[in-house]
Amino acid sequence: MENDSQNSKKRIILGFVSLAVFSFLFIQITGGPDFTQYRHRIERFTETLLRSEEERVIETKVHQLVDEESAVIEVVESASPSVVSIVIKRVDFDFFSGPSLTEAGIGTGFIVDPNGIIVTNSHVVEDPNGEYSVILKDGITYEVSEIHLDRTSDLAILEITARGLPILDLADSDTLKVGQKAIAIGNALGRFQNTVTSGIVSGIEREIVASGGFGGRTSFFEEVIQTDAALNPGNSGGPLLDLSGRVIGINVATTPRADNIGFAIPSNTLRPILVSFLEEGRIIRPYLGVSYQIITEEISRLRELPQGAFISRVYNGSPADEAGLERGDIIVAFDGVDLDQRNTLARLINRTSVGDMVELRIDRDGEEFTTTATLSEVPENF
């Protein structure tokens, strides 16, 4: 049996050797077989593979666009019922025709509590002679019963008599990334209710002087969100949303002579204001009592000044006044945190509460010292 097995192996090996020799002789005599047809088949197969890969890439991109479009549509459908148009009624007097009642859309707001609590910009509702109402997406109108202004942040909280309203949740604006999707909903130009625009977050922590539109006053904003989602007069006070349908900012319209540049107040600026209002029934904000300009890292280097907040005014009787601060002082640290582009004075104050005692490190004419201030509540109509 063992000899039969060995003989079988020898025959197999001999067969392979014979095939190899025959193939070699055939190639030598004929010049080799014609592989053209095989080459053409390989080329066609390669082209098919390449075409399939290109189609796969295109198909993937199409799916991504469709998924993004679907996400935007879902956000708009879920958020729109929580967005309101703000209307003002005024009594105008004409010398010839006498008094007349006019009504105009002036801004946007959004519902943050089912029991009739709405957020907007303070510049939208600061006319003491106006009567305000809000219009929901379904056309139902509610008169505004109370207005609470926070002019420092350009935010306002409105109260209406309603229950069971749909609300929008706030996102954590500190986690925003440049390039992420942003969706704006608002009463564009005061006439086109629930207009939707979309774009991206173009920048964060911008410092700007912005106009709210409709001839409103200009305001200084220290750390706003920049977006290329189109904002128009009438969008002020409306929500800027992420793809989860949460509010990342409150639209504050545009800067003069700017194209495709809009700005929004970060949701984290609103959060402590809203929390205090829901707890106390009024807006309560901590107050230091200074006006200041930010000394950025670049300005610090060019002018050889420490980075921080340059005090341009100290308000009489304020915590800063009682702590001995003077015009020209530079606050370089607030309660143990150095001031910089990220940790601005406004942001650090917003993290405190009324009654907190904070330590301030001050640079005065190149010499540093520390002092303490007990934060009070922002004065009425400040």
Tens-digit pLDDT profile for residues 196-214 = 999 999 988 887 765 555 5
Is 2.30.42.10 the CATH classification of the domain at 286-377? yes
Which pLDDT does position 341 carry in this prediction?
78
- The question of whether 113 is a catalytic residue gets the answer no
Mean pLDDT of 145-169: 93
Q: For residue 77, what are the contacts with CB-CB under 8 A and spacing of at least 6? A: none
Choosing from 154, 242, 329, 363, the catalytic residue is 154
Which pLDDT does position 21 carry in this prediction?
47
Tens-digit pLDDT profile for residues 82-105 = 999 999 987 766 666 666 666 777
Choosing from 82, 85, 122, 123, the catalytic residue is 123
Distances (CA, A) of 42 to 36, 52, 147, 298: 10, 15, 76, 62
Tens-digit pLDDT profile for residues 26-84 = 545 555 555 555 556 666 766 666 666 666 666 565 556 557 788 899 999 999 999 99
Q: Please give the share of the chain, as a percent, with pLDDT higher than 90.
A: 47
The first and second tokens of residue 70, run together, are 């679907």
Residue 306 CB: number of other CB atoms within 10 A? 18
Choosing from 236, 276, 318, 376, the catalytic residue is 236
Distances (CA, A) of 179 to 204, 226, 229, 239: 10, 11, 12, 18
Is 2.40.10.10 the CATH classification of the domain at 173-279? yes
- The question of whether 154 is a catalytic residue gets the answer yes
Check pLDDT > 80 for residue 125.
yes
Which pLDDT does position 297 carry in this prediction?
85
Enumerate the domain spans of the chain. 84-160, 173-279, 286-377
Tens-digit pLDDT profile for residues 297-313 = 888 888 889 999 999 99
Which pTM value belongs to this model?
Answer: 0.73
Pick the CATH number of 84-160 from 3.30.1180.20, 3.40.50.740, 2.40.10.10, 3.30.1330.20: 2.40.10.10
- Domains 84-160 and 286-377 in one fold: no
